[in-house]
Amino acid sequence: MTRKKPVTAILFFVLPFGLLFIAFYLAPIGYAIKQSLYKVTRTGTFGPAHEVFGGFEQYQRVFQNGPFWESIGRVLLFGVVQVPVMLGLALLLALLLDSGLVKGRAFFRLAFFVPYAVPGVVAAIMWGFLYSPNLSPFTAVTKTWDLLSADLVLWAMANVVTWVYVGYNMLIIYSALLAIPQEVYEAARLDGAGPVRTAWSIKIPLVMPAIVLTTVFSIIGTLQLLAEPQVFRTFSSAVSSTYTPNLTVYSTSSIPNFNLAAAFSVVLALATCLLSFAFLKVTQRGDDK
Amino acid sequence: MKSKSAAMAIMGICTFYFLVPIWWLFVGASKSRSDFSNTAPLWFAHFNLGQNLSELFHYRDGVFLRWMLNSILYTGGAALIGTLLAAMCGYALAKYRFPGRETIFNIVLGGVLVPATALALPLFLIFSQLNATNTFWSVFLPSLVNPFGVYLARIYATASVPDELLEAARLDGSGEVRTFFTVSSKLMFPALVTIFLFHFVAVWNNFLLPLIMLGNERLFPVTLGLYSWNTQVNQLPELRMLVLTGALVSIVPLVVAFLFLQRFWRSGLGSGAVK
């Protein structure tokens, strides 16, 4: 196009979002980094506190903070188990919905999706009751295994997250399946491929982008676990104030030690970005082959 | 056929898994306090839902209704405005060539990978410098920004708004902004519903930001309100039935929204996820 660029229109479109993005995304990131480089000192024990530049002192504390790294390990373990289970189930249900073997598709689609309408906090409260030995409708289970004990509470939370998000992930994968043109299946049918074979070698590769997308969001979500453990603290003493990285950030900032909390935030955000970016890179390399 | 019944069996078991907790919540919220702990959890006793609702709505000057209203304001308002802003930005990134376009897009895309919870604490520190924590705006304004919406809007605009149509509009003498609102936004409508719903759910679920930002109970969204009641259940056992009934009421708006917008949402999701 050789015509003059509509500068005012472009500014009109981009600026409102751009300014808010700068104010409420970039500025906080910058501010967190700045805060993480400061420390509070006092003159004498009870003297007035003032902030001075501390270099990487807070980061040194972050790296020496055992509970924080334990909590990172905990959510990684959580993610390694929960994300594949959740997405595997979502994929299976999407494939079944798409296979023509199932009657009443509209009903199932909606039934599986309803939990997504339940906010994380509310879902955690509900399941907290369902797990409690006295009130649960599944007393046969909750009397044998204490789902709120230190050993099992992590997996009890994994179940809450799975329950909320399977339907949502299923819907994303299912929509991708619906978008596959019918002609693609013709060849498979001529070759005499059955439904399992078709699913495995045609459908799954074609919906890979959707699976990658849902995986990245799940990784981000896992590292950010907050609402579920925060709620479970009222049901189970096994959930400490540093149970997940975000709980550590929250409890450090309510001490208050904002500088250290900011350093935790920065490290956590970086770890999240790196992990999701690495996952994207690995899967993209697979595509190039 | 064997595979057919196996498939239906899996679907049946999963339906059970997904719906029983909600059924339990509904049954539980319909019981009086003593029935709740003494009767079968998955079936009705004396139907007490009306009484529970009335208690819920009158408890402490109707603070629960206030929370629901807050949630709808925070969420509906932020999602509506946020979707419009994301759509405009994504549309410009898709349809105009200008210097810095790719840079802007990449920075915004990086924003998708930055978890919203990592921003809550620094946002609190910034707002407290301005003496603006514990206000409606301290939760509302940050909720407007939705980088993933920009990403989706760009994909959808590229796919659904043809350049020829924009050229034709220009020849007709329609201004760029007018074309967006009268022509392009209509073509992008299913996509906009998708962005709106994603945004709606994200804000509806956001917990850390209000938790850190708000101290005044009357500004709480319903999630934070129910959370605060639930932490007091051990001291005030009468709150338990209110928490349950409140949980049931709190999921109704989203279920209704899903049912209404389902049709658009599915078509929109499809075009987004394949690209």
Would you say residue A155 lies in a domain?
yes
Domain of A75 in residue numbering reads as 66-254
* Residues in chain B closer than 8 A to A12 (CB atoms): 88, 177
Alpha-carbon distance of A29 to A46, in angstroms, equals 32
Pairs of residues, one from chain A and one from chain B, whose beta carbons lie less than 8 Å apart: 262
CB of B114 within 8 Å of any CB in chain A? yes
* Closest to B269 in 3D by CA, of B157, B199, B193, B203: B193
Would you say residue A185 lies in a domain?
yes
Summarize pLDDT for B74-84 with one digit per residue, the tens. 999 999 999 99
Q: What's the number of domains chain A is made of?
A: 1
Give the angle subtended at the CA of B148 by the CAs of B143 and B149, to the nearest 5°: 75
Mean pLDDT of chain B: 89
Note the ipTM here.
0.88
Would you say residue A264 lies in a domain?
no
Please judge whether B117 and A226 are an interchain contact, meaning their C-beta atoms are less than 8 angstroms apart.
Answer: yes
Summarize pLDDT for B165-217 with one digit per residue, the tens. 999 999 998 899 999 999 999 999 888 988 998 899 889 888 989 999 999 99
CB of B42 within 8 Å of any CB in chain A? yes
Would you say residue A16 lies in a domain?
no
CA distance A251 to chain B (A): 10
Nearest-by-Cβ selection for A125 from B116, B124, B247:
B247
Alpha-carbon distance of A96 to A92, in angstroms, equals 6
Please judge whether A117 and B124 are an interchain contact, meaning their C-beta atoms are less than 8 angstroms apart.
Answer: no
Question: Which residues of chain B from 195 to 214 reach within 8 Å of chain A, CB to CB?
Answer: 201, 204-205, 207-208, 211-212
Burial of A245 (0-12, 13-18, 19+ CB in 10 A): buried
Question: Distance of alpha carbon A244 from its chain centroid, rounded?
Answer: 13
Would you say residue A259 lies in a domain?
no
Would you say residue A107 lies in a domain?
yes
Summarize pLDDT for A271-282 with one digit per residue, the tens. 988 888 888 888
Alpha-carbon distance of B183 to B194, in angstroms, equals 19
Summarize pLDDT for A179-219 with one digit per residue, the tens. 888 888 888 888 888 888 888 888 999 999 889 989 998 99
- Domain harbouring A130, CATH code: 1.10.3720.10
**Nearest residue in A to B22, CA atom:** A115
Summarize pLDDT for A114-131 with one digit per residue, the tens. 899 899 999 999 999 999
* Residues in chain B closer than 8 A to A195 (CB atoms): 3
Would you say residue A108 lies in a domain?
yes
Question: Which residues of chain A from 39 to 58 reach within 8 Å of chain B, CB to CB?
Answer: none
- DSSP H helices, chain A, are 7-21, 27-36, 57-64, 66-98, 105-113, 120-131, 139-144, 153-178, 183-190, 195-198, 204-206, 208-223, 227-232, 245-253, 258-288
Model confidence at B222: pLDDT above 90: yes
Give the architecture (CATH level 2) of B49-274.
Answer: Orthogonal Bundle (1.10)
Question: Which residues of chain A from 206 to 265 reach within 8 Å of chain B, CB to CB?
Answer: 207, 209-210, 213, 216, 220, 223-224, 226-227, 230-231, 234, 246, 249-250, 253, 258, 261-262, 265
Confidence of residue A2 (pLDDT cuts 50, 70, 90): very low
CB of A279 within 8 Å of any CB in chain B? no
Helix (H) or strand (E) segment spanning residue B102? helix B101-113
**Nearest residue in B to A33, CA atom:** B122
Would you say residue A15 lies in a domain?
no
CA distance A79 to chain B (A): 16
**Nearest residue in B to A226, CA atom:** B208
CB of A156 within 8 Å of any CB in chain B? no
DSSP B237: T
Please give the pLDDT value at position B274. 38
